[in-house]
Amino acid sequence: GAGVSQSPSNKVTEKGKDVELRCDPISGHTALYWYRQSLGQGLEFLIYFQGNSAPDKSGLPSDRFSAERTGGSVSTLTIQRTQQEDSAVYLCASSLADRGLYNEQFFGPGTRLTVL
Amino acid sequence: KNQVEQSPQSLIILEGKNCTLQCNYTVSPFSNLRWYKQDTGRGPVSLTIMTFSENTKSNGRYTATLDADTKQSSLHITASQLSDSASYICVVSAGSWSGGGADGLTFGKGTHLIIQP
């Protein structure tokens, strides 16, 4: 099991509830990314972690979104007070090093979030 | 504004036939271009990466081309198989964080390819 894993694979929640999405990157990968993929749209960058540096949160759409990465490994994306427009597939990716020129991102299978 | 446009949006072809997917970009400065394959319910997987100086790169039945002058790339699939049914995403990387969302990458919306038996 050397790939990126995400859990849960599917999450259905009611509007206004909080949700937590988890990402386990490939062991040894220092860079971790979260993306959102809405139906018919391209991947939307949310947040980026690299080692012990401060994360790049510039893609988070609102203050209801936050993410942590503990111990440089597992990451959790939290969405508070979910809205229907938050419904999407949330993808996590990891790579060996900085978002340099040729570092390949390895993606997890995603978490499909449905907000009713 | 950095953009990546892919065409067609969707494509249906018969098994065994060839097809070509297009990617036009306006990302500047340009660093590299990747084609990803995304199976339904899975994350994207890299097929090829091309830099400024590369014109053609193959990966099995997949051949990518790049024209850096016209800022166009294509992905040609030869002798299509049912397992080729997927979305194909073109991703262009800027040489610095001067463009492409907040991570230097601009993603196309993908071409949804269906191979029929």
Q: Do A45 and B46 touch (CB under 8 A)?
A: no
End-to-end CA distance of chain A: 33
A84: its two tokens: 């229907």
Convert the pLDDT of each residue in A38-90 to its tens digit. 987 888 999 988 888 888 898 899 999 999 998 879 999 999 999 999 999 99
Name A9's Cβ contacts closer than 8 Å, sequence gap at least 6: A109, A110, A111, A112
Q: Dump pLDDT digits (tens) for A86-113.
A: 999 999 999 886 555 567 889 999 999 9
Task: Quote the pLDDT of residue A1.
Answer: 54
Tell me the residue ranges of DSSP E strands in chain A.
Answer: 5-7, 10-13, 19-24, 31-37, 43-50, 65-69, 75-79, 88-95, 106-107, 111-115
Could A91 and B110 be called an inter-chain contact, meaning their C-beta atoms sit closer than 8 Å?
A: no
Give the count of beta carbons closer than 10 Å to the beta carbon of residue B115: 20
Separation of alpha carbons A89 and B59, rounded Å: 28
Nearest CA-CA distance, residue B83 and chain A, Å: 17
Which of A45, A49, A95, A111 has the most B C-beta neighbours within 10 Å, making it the best mutation to test the interface with B? A45
Residue B56 tokens, joined = 């053609």
DSSP 8-class letter at A99: S
A43 touches chain B (CB under 8 A): yes
With an 8 Å Cβ cutoff, is A4 touching chain B?
A: yes
Q: State yes or no: pLDDT of B97 exceeds 60.
A: no
Q: Which helix (H) or strand (E) holds B76?
A: strand B72-77
Are B101 and A42 a contacting pair at CB < 8 A?
no
Residues of A within 8 A of B47 (CB-CB) are: none
- Chain A contacts of B102, Cβ < 8 Å? 45, 48, 56, 58-59
Q: How confident is the model at residue A15 (pLDDT cuts 50, 70, 90)?
A: very high
> Average pLDDT of B45-71?
93
Smallest CA–CA distance from A39 into chain B, residue: B109
How far does B80 lie from chain A, in Å, by closest CA?
Answer: 24
pLDDT band, residue A30 (cuts 50/70/90): confident
Please state the rounded mean pLDDT for residues B68-80. Answer: 96
Whole-number pLDDT of residue B106: 87
Nearest CA in chain B to A49: B103
Interior/surface letters A46-56, b for 16+ CB within 10 angstroms, e for the rest? bbbbbeeeebb
Residue A33 has its nearest CB partner, among B31, B103, B109, at B103
Radius of gyration, alpha carbons of chain A = 13
Residue A85 DSSP code: G
Picking from B115, B112, B92, the residue whose alpha carbon sits closest to that of residue B104 is: B92
Question: How far does CA B66 lie from the centroid of its chain?
Answer: 10
Name every chain B residue with its beta carbon within 8 A of the beta carbon of A101: 31-32, 51, 93, 95
